[in-house]
Amino acid sequence: MSLEQRVVQAFERRFAASPDFVVRAPGRVNLIGEHTDYNDGFVLPMAIDRAIWIALRPRDDDEVHVHSLEFSDSISFPLDALENTKSGWSEYLKGVAWSLQEAGYALQGWEGVVAGDVPRGAGLSSSAALELAAARAFACAAPALPWAPKEIARLCQRAENEWVGVQCGIMDQMISAAGQADHALLIDCRSLETEAVPLPPGTVAVVLDTATRRGLVDSLYNERRAQCEAAAAFFGVPALRDVSVEQFRARAQALDEVKRRRARHVVTENARTVRAVEMMRRGDADALGRLMDASHASLRDDFEVSSDELDQMVACARREEGCYGARMTGAGFGGSAVALVDEDAAEAFAEAVAACYRAATGIAPAVTICTATAGAEVVAGKG
Ligand code: GLA
């Protein structure tokens, strides 16, 4: 049974009626452009066919009642007295409600059932998917809330930054809001302009989940952000986005060693991401793969956000026939890698990489051949 069918069926059991709306919002995999979003730079993610689904109907009052199939847990809260308990999946929904209301939108209550298949902690943005699905649900229940993907992405990011307390950039919310089927999305994280680019013909993205999850990711992430901001201040610019590779080379020697390496990653990664789009437009899978390989090295050596398992996974992937390139994806410190692979070789690739990784680490990975999907949408609904 599909997730859509599951949330609809669970809704019908719970409320003895059909839902008025079904919404979905996808997770994502980032092809290249890592740790560049909070430096106002470029990212190139695609929305994947793993998503959060909500079946819902509006309520007459201002209460939200939601049951989660994954957590076998029901929550409820009033929209006019939101309370932050700082734990649990309901804070993502409350945070979105808070942020939308702060922006001046009048919301209405709703009740529904949520389920999803975006693995948590795998670097595939399960939290952004939940936020965008919640925002879509609020927009269905309160038609006065227009669906403007960029604005909603910003408000969901604010929910995560200020309500949930994670200092993420804009990438995950943007791609979950604005993803396009069969395309990756180049996002300029300063202007939020986007450009849809297809993968080179005959290739697919394969997500390689190391099945390792690290603690302290938030504090390590915030430390990287602070180092980048300090490096931008050294160059006298608002963000590292404003430093070209040439400008970096000319002045980097005067930066302290750690900040120099952090900045070198961001500056070169921005250049690689822009270049990656050119290579995709040319359909040059070899060149795109080499840029992904270089991105991994830079994240491992200069930005220091890889892990032994991620390095091992990437090594296993690159050995295989049909692999153009591979790199860690997302914040790092565990989670997933992504490989660009010949479509015809993908099944054999997936099996071989899983076996290689298992033999090297003793850990069973999760390998998924992905298709690029649309961003958050109403898949069924009244009017
Ligand atoms: C996490 C954050 C994003 C981005 C990536 C690293 O996924 O949520 O905003 O910074 O890490 O590229």
C-alpha 299 to ligand 1 mean position (Å)? 13
pLDDT number for residue 241? 98
Q: Summarize pLDDT for 133-168 with one digit per residue, the tens.
A: 999 999 999 988 889 999 999 999 999 999 999 999
Q: Which residues contact 211 (CB under 8 A, 6 or more apart)?
A: 363, 364, 365, 366
Average pLDDT score over the chain: 96
Mean pLDDT confidence for 220-240: 97
| pLDDT of 380 above 90 | no
pLDDT number for residue 145? 85
| Ligand 1 pocket, Cβ-based, cut-off 6 angstroms | 34-35, 37-38, 168-169, 171-172, 330-331
| pLDDT of 238 above 70 | yes
| pLDDT of 216 above 80 | no
pLDDT number for residue 144? 80
Q: Do strands 110-116 and 63-68 pair parallel, antiparallel, or not at all (unpaired)?
A: parallel
On whether the pTM is more than 0.85, the answer is yes
User: Per this entry, what is the length of the chain?
Assistant: 383
Are 41 and 271 spatial neighbours (Cβ–Cβ below 8 Å)? no
CA 127 from centre of chain: 8
| pLDDT of 383 above 70 | no
Phi and psi at residue 184, in whole multiples of 5°? -90, 165
Residue 178: closest CA among 1, 275, 13, 43: 43
Sign of CA dihedral 297, 299, 300, 302: positive
Closest residue by CA, ligand 1 atom 2 = 168
Q: Summarize pLDDT for 86-117 with one digit per residue, the tens.
A: 889 999 999 999 999 999 999 999 999 999 99
Among candidate residues 20, 172, 209, 293, the one labeled active-site is: 172
pLDDT number for residue 231? 98
Residue 322: closest CA among 299, 340, 304, 305: 340
Q: Summarize pLDDT for 173-189 with one digit per residue, the tens.
A: 999 999 999 999 999 99
| pLDDT of 341 above 90 | yes
Whether 172 sits among the annotated catalytic residues: the reply is yes
Cα(112)–Cα(127) distance, integer angstroms: 18
Cα(283)–Cα(264) distance, integer angstroms: 28
pLDDT number for residue 70? 94
